[in-house]
Structure 1
């Protein structure tokens, strides 16, 4: 069983974690995604209880940013080519110890950062390589409550849920 008692911050990828990875190509050129309401509740609840929530994603989409901002997430990094660079800059700026961070990713671009965090987490449908390095594999797939599952598990362990 993974130790969730020291987690103070969550870092999430977007596509395949907060969404199911499906992109709907609209006639307008926009690419729509769907987010699970339970994940949104958990993120907002964690923020209100004093946890940090950080988003690091390779894709930049206005709709994604608006959704995250509506949940009161302020640390949003979209269109990121080098997730490790953003991670290092962020933890140095905020003086965070990776031993207090849970990172949930689903694919190869997440793996380097996942290896640096106390809890490397992934949705049930993450790639096999990501599952192999994860200390926490959610029962739920990305975009269907995997984020809620992790946040709730951490907060219940710490008595803050």
Structure 2
């Protein structure tokens, strides 16, 4: 039986779910003298998140991190389902599935490390940044050529929207 191209899965994606640290950021934190942990997010990833929401896709974040600044940034982009402090991410995934009546096979989840593994085994399109750990790369249907925090989120969103003809209102197969 012939293996499906990863792009064939993209036609059926209705929902994007992303981890934060190592996916929307490069996984680094800057610790201030007051103990605050600062993260950097890529604005091109932000543009893609907002574009996908505007195109009618469901969007959620499931992260073990607890920094409220992350929630403020993501909610500012229009993401209302932001699960922080998620140490057993499958619980948040199941809550999201029940809340939105979404099928697991229509979900793209991008993670980068071991805490993402159970969710990635449960959904239709697991993917990861180029610098994810080997265990996550091994179960991913797509490994982005971009590193976490450096456009990996934009990469997968743009591909899905282009395959579905929803990237800025057109799909150009030559891109």
Task: State the TM-score bracket (shorter-chain normalisation).
Answer: over 0.9
Aligned-partner Cα distance in 2 for 1:53–1:26: 31
CA deviation profile, 1:21-69 (whole Å, cap 9, x unmatched): 0010011211000000110000000001110110000010011111111
Structure 2 unaligned spans of 5+: 168-175
Per the TM alignment, residue 102 of structure 1 is displaced from its structure 2 partner at its CA by: 0.2
| Partner in structure 1 of residue 50 of structure 2 | 44
How far, CA to CA, are the matches of 1:37 and 1:60 in structure 2?
21
**Deviation of residue 118 (structure 1)?**
1.0
Counting only pairs closer than 5 Å after superposition, residues 41-120 of structure 1 correspond to structure 2 as 41-120=47-126
Partner of 1:23: 29
Question: In 2, Cα distance between the equivalents of 1:131 and 1:81?
Answer: 20
Alignment of 1:112-131 (within 5 A): 112-131=118-137
Whose radius of gyration is greater, 1 or 2? 2
1:80-114: CA deviations, max 9, x gaps? 11100110111012111011100000000001101
Are residues 1:9 and 2:15 paired?
yes
* Runs of 4+ displaced beyond 4 Å: none
TM-score (norm. length: structure 1)? 0.98
Structure 1 residue runs of 5 or longer lacking an equivalent are: none
Give the Cα–Cα distance (whole angstroms) in 1 for the partners of residues 73 and 33 of structure 2.
21
Corresponding residue pairs, total:
161
